[in-house]
Amino acid sequence: MGVVSMKSKIRRILLAVRDPSRPPRAALRKVAGLARATHAAVELFHALSEPGDPASPAGAAALKAARRRLERMARTPLLEDCRPSAHVEWDYPPHEAIVRRALRIGADLVIATAQPSGFGKRLWLRNTDWELIRHCPCQLLIVKSARAYRKPRILVAVDPMHAHAKPTALDQRLLASAKALASTLSGSVHIFHAYMPLVASVQGPMGEPLVWESPEVEEVHSAQIAREFARVAAQGGIVPRNRHLMMGDVPTLLEGTVRKLHAGLAVMGAVSRSRLRRLVVGSTAERVLDQLTCDVLIVKPRGFATSVPKRMSAVPARR
């Protein structure tokens, strides 16, 4: 499978800025690196989502102040030679505002930052992050680490058995995105999959785990997964030394592999199971994303259509 050039894929980058008064320096550095490598246009975007009346004098003053701060951020030396633009508007809720702006400017990549919270300032994903993962129509890069991209190792989490009804082409789409990014950043691509033992994944009619009398059943199960994993890896052109197949708890093993490789990025696919079950992240539990210490690139399947309405319904009223 040939590498899709990042230069032909990333033409416009949208950086979602949570607080114009606090420049996200790690994200700005990464935006600059990607923009210079791809010659992409960059827009810094902030949505005013606080309760109030946008048409009031106070609303107009808030818009002016936020725009002034964002324009000052756009002039930072970190973005030198990138010629970024800045845009502020009233829109609510924040994730919908970001999606609407991304659609309006034709963004190929949205970049958002995970914010530290709680004791120890661990980077936890917040509601806006989860909603962006579910609804962002283009590639979404969540910045969790301050480390610069210096020939980064990029770890792609695949689901070769399509255990959660993932489109069969999504794994190759993930690998293509990772290889394009690696080509841009002079990095390398690794592929990862972890699975639970069959006895832990098959339940009886009362929800109890089914216990096999013979280990041969487990061996057949593992061998089948290994064949499918090797097939996906070979189709993606991933050499054997960069393949990581493991049995056990997915979040623990994925984070362990990230740390072992000192990976700069993890690439995951997001798919829609159903309207009621909403949109989830591949074959992993949601705690995977909170546990990861590296940046995360979320890729949607081809043909994904966001459910975010084209217009804001209403700005929240003051209580």
- The answer to whether residue 308 is domain-embedded is no
Q: Do 264 and 187 meet the contact criterion of CB atoms below 8 Å apart?
A: yes
Domain count, the chain: 1
Cross-strand pairs, 48: 90
- The answer to whether residue 315 is domain-embedded is no
- The answer to whether residue 232 is domain-embedded is yes
How confident is the model at residue 211, as a pLDDT?
Answer: 58
- Per-residue model confidence as pLDDT tens digits over 190-242: 999 999 887 655 555 665 555 555 678 788 889 999 999 999 999 999 999 99
CA dist 265 and 152 (Å) reads: 7
Quick check: helix, strand or coil at residue 102? helix
- CATH number for the domain including 194? 3.40.50.12370
- The answer to whether residue 314 is domain-embedded is no
* pLDDT grade for 127, boundaries at 50, 70 and 90: confident
- The answer to whether residue 311 is domain-embedded is no
Say if residue 178's pLDDT is above 50: yes
Cross-strand pairs, 43: 14, 85
Q: Do 117 and 275 meet the contact criterion of CB atoms below 8 Å apart?
A: no
- The answer to whether residue 313 is domain-embedded is no
61-95 burial, b for 16+ CB within 10 Å, e for fewer? ebeeebbebbbebbebebbeebebebbbbbbbbbb
DSSP summary character for residue 148: -
- The answer to whether residue 70 is domain-embedded is yes
Residue of higher predicted confidence among 157 and 51: 157
How confident is the model at residue 315, as a pLDDT?
Answer: 59
- The answer to whether residue 316 is domain-embedded is no
How confident is the model at residue 70, as a pLDDT?
Answer: 98
Say if residue 122's pLDDT is above 60: no
Question: Once rounded to an integer, what is the mean pLDDT over residues 36-59?
Answer: 91
Question: Once rounded to an integer, what is the mean pLDDT over residues 28-42?
Answer: 95
* pLDDT grade for 274, boundaries at 50, 70 and 90: very low
Range of the domain at 18: 6-299
Query: Mean pLDDT of all residues in the chain?
Result: 85
CA-to-CA dists, residue 317 to 48, 49, 53, 83, 94, angstroms:
13, 10, 8, 36, 15
Say if residue 69's pLDDT is above 70: yes
